[in-house]
Amino acid sequence: MKKDTILILDFGSQYTQLIARRVRELKVFSVIEPYNISLAKIKAINPKGIILSGGPHSVYEKKAPQLKEGILKLGVPVLGICYGMQIMVQTLGGVVKESRKREYGRALMYIDERKDLFLSLKPKITSWMSHTDKVARLPKGFKKLSHTLNTDYASIGNAQLKLYGVQFHPEVMHTELGTRIISNFLFRICSCAPTWQLEDFVAAQIKQIRKTVANSNVICGLSGGVDSSTLSVLLHKAIGKRLKCIFVNNGLLRKGEVQEVKKVFRGHFKMDLHYVDASKLFLSKLKGVTDPEKKRKIIGREFIRIFEAEEHKIRNAGFLAQGTLYPDVIESVSLFGGPSATIKSHHNVGGLPKDMKLKLIEPFNQLFKDEVRQIAKILGLPQSVIGRHPFPGPGLGVRILGEITPKRLEILREADVIFIDILKKRGLYDKVWQAFCVLLPVKSVGVMGDQRTYENILAVRAVTSVDGMTADWAKLPAQVLGEISNDIINKVRGVNRVTYDISSKPPATIEWE
């Protein structure tokens, strides 16, 4: 069955990916493309509807992203969100001006027409606003659908042309009944069918992988994280022993991680797992290095060198599989010229050797993290893998500030186990996006057993997030924080002080390095 698709045009909003996720949660497939996509490519995608994202610009700025008028003449329903609404208004001859009073955060919105986009909604709802401009005059054929005390045109529509605009953000959880509004656009206005199912995706990918690979072997780097683990199991179901997994121990893994990976993938799934213990080599290369960027480069360079050496031992290898996710692709498109602000570059996208002879397989490059977790469940991976928190490629190397030594690694590993075990015991592990310890390059004075100590300070970090692009510090109960601090200080030699990181992203990042 051909799936219905919603095309999201990105004008630079921090919420663009969230729009795509909300659409997929309603079982309709979505894709994100830059706002300046060609009409020919839009026609090739053949979307049932188009959503114009928000953005940081004002439509009347000289270098503001513009909307091709032809997009509004395709006969496809369009929903403009925030900037997307304003650029649609301007493109069709309406007027957008700077507002005397800016509107940020929650605003009570009064619905003037409770049909189509606002069918089955209450007369007034709480909406999430983020704008400094407002629509001053509507294009011909449009009418007001809702308003706030500050914004006359909080939403507008032309039912005949199926063109709609909302000044607020229905995709964020702060907007009351926001999912219902998106649902009305998808099903009432665009006539989409809720047919996007990951079970179908898995079956289609297994069939496609078999066809693509034929009789060649496929190499996959396995780290034990949810992305590479799910990818490995999917490939194994498709091609069995022709999958060759390489697991490199860089000496920067967490306590018991090597044993766990071997147990799950060699033991349970019976995979051909090539294990390389390069821990001593990595630590020797990192000796004396304190600069975080240098540490990352050393770890990355040595990993590629070791991976390539192991790869050359495998005969009949024709493909390299990577667990690249859709956010990696979107952010890297941004890095190379797209409208969204670049947050980071990704080793999975654009970082492969130019002379690589292996062909690339990326089954997950149109999926979000939560979708990969659902696939992991479909494929029967253990919960310990499915629910595992994200773990950085450089491992504990970016959680030890300053020089990485065997002793400092041991301190961090022991503290991290205590922290995670307490979160699991208290039912908090699955309620946070990511939790870990950071060993600081400073010491403090303490007292233990009437003796003066001068030992390490450890920071504890736990955040809540939807996709890792933004995050807030987790409000862990004071009693639990006390238990964490007490257990770490009492059980881990070398730590006499524990602090809790209460920084959000932005302005901080989730990891410290």
Instruction: Tell me the two tokens of residue 105.
Output: 């955060």
Residues 6+ apart with CB under 8 A from 280: 251
CA separation for the pair 435, 382 (Å, rounded):
20
Task: Using CA atoms of 410, 416, 422, 425 in order, give the dihedral in degrees to the nearest 10.
Answer: -100
CA separation for the pair 248, 508 (Å, rounded):
30
CA separation for the pair 400, 159 (Å, rounded):
58
For the packed helices 369-379 and 198-213, what is the interaxial angle rounded to 10 degrees? 80
Residue given tokens 């690979």 in the structure block: 213
Q: Are strands 5-10 and 143-147 parallel, antiparallel or unpaired?
A: unpaired
Q: Can you give 146-196 as a three-state secondary structure string? A: EECCCCCCCEEEECCCCEEEECCCCCCCCCCCHHHHHHHHHHHHCCCCCCC
171: annotated active-site residue: yes
CA separation for the pair 371, 202 (Å, rounded):
11
CA separation for the pair 88, 84 (Å, rounded):
6
> Which of 171, 310, 311, 414 is flagged as catalytic?
171
- Residue 129's Cβ-side half-sphere holds a number of Cα atoms within 13 Å equal to 23
Instruction: Tell me the two tokens of residue 206.
Output: 């297994």
- Of 143, 160, 323, 292, whose CA–CA distance to 228 is shortest? 323
Residues 6+ apart with CB under 8 A from 93: 139, 140
- Of 171, 170, 167, 122, whose CA–CA distance to 148 is shortest? 167
CA separation for the pair 231, 168 (Å, rounded):
38
Residue given tokens 């600081």 in the structure block: 440
CA separation for the pair 102, 148 (Å, rounded):
12
Instruction: Tell me the two tokens of residue 290.
Output: 């304190």
82: annotated active-site residue: yes
> Which of 169, 220, 236, 302 is flagged as catalytic?
169
Catalytic machinery residues: 82, 169, 171
